[in-house]
Amino acid sequence: MNQDVEQVWGIPRSVMEAEIGNFQGFLPAQLPLFESCRNLEPLGSFRDRPQAEEDAQWKQMIPYVCILHEGSMLVLQRLKTQGEKRLHGKRSVGVGGHVNPEAPGDAPLLFRGLQRELSEEIGLIPDAADCRFLGWINDDETAVGQVHLGLAVAVQVKDRPEIAETDRMTGDWIPLADLDPSDDRWESWSSILLEPLLAGEVSA
């Protein structure tokens, strides 16, 4: 492990299949958020991101958080300044990113990573009580998806947060009724998650 490059946390694909399931698309949560995170934590590790991006047998874990406010959802537009070139220009309902080495804390590593990402991107640090665990997102049909696994969470906010990283993304609040999962401007994870969300199969 090279400390000069970004360290990202993940799990072997075999662990995903044994502990979560072998699935394509969206899998609703079966356990509470903290329990799911704590079960995976001893089974994962940090790796150099460049190495991880080339290994489809190892899944980089990504907290993927929908932010909702009074019937609307925050929709991001990824700019060309973001690190993942394959997602440039795509629309997303997920705020989040890779889990890096985090400061020690009582909460599971994955949740601390979630809090850090939301703090950096939209200036929001949610408590566990604010978060509803929706389930998992896996998309082995795209190059990006083959090496990532999404931890899908929804957070209802009382006040609309502002985009902090305006150099990397833009954001708009769009009524849920106006969101169309089939729109080809979505990144794949967003279209996958929006389908059960808007159909009422999972509650945000």
pLDDT at 84: 54
Tell me the pLDDT of the chain (204 aa) as tens digits: 666 899 999 999 999 999 999 999 999 999 999 999 999 999 999 999 999 999 999 999 999 999 999 999 999 987 655 555 555 568 899 998 999 999 899 999 999 999 999 999 899 999 999 999 999 999 999 999 999 999 999 999 999 988 877 777 788 999 999 999 999 889 999 999 999 999 888 887
Residue 177 domain flag? yes
pLDDT at 90: 83
Side chain identity, residue 175? P
CATH number for 19: 3.90.79.10
The total number of structural domains in the chain stands at 1
Task: Name the residue with tokens 């020690």.
Answer: 104
Residue 133 domain flag? yes
Residue 39 domain flag? yes
Residue 203 domain flag? no
Task: Name the residue with tokens 């993940």.
Answer: 10
Residue 2 domain flag? no
Residue 17 domain flag? yes
What is the extent of the structural domain holding 21? Answer: 7-198
Q: How far apart are CA 144 and CA 188, in angstroms?
A: 9
Q: How far apart are CA 183 and CA 168, in angstroms?
A: 22
Residue 74 domain flag? yes
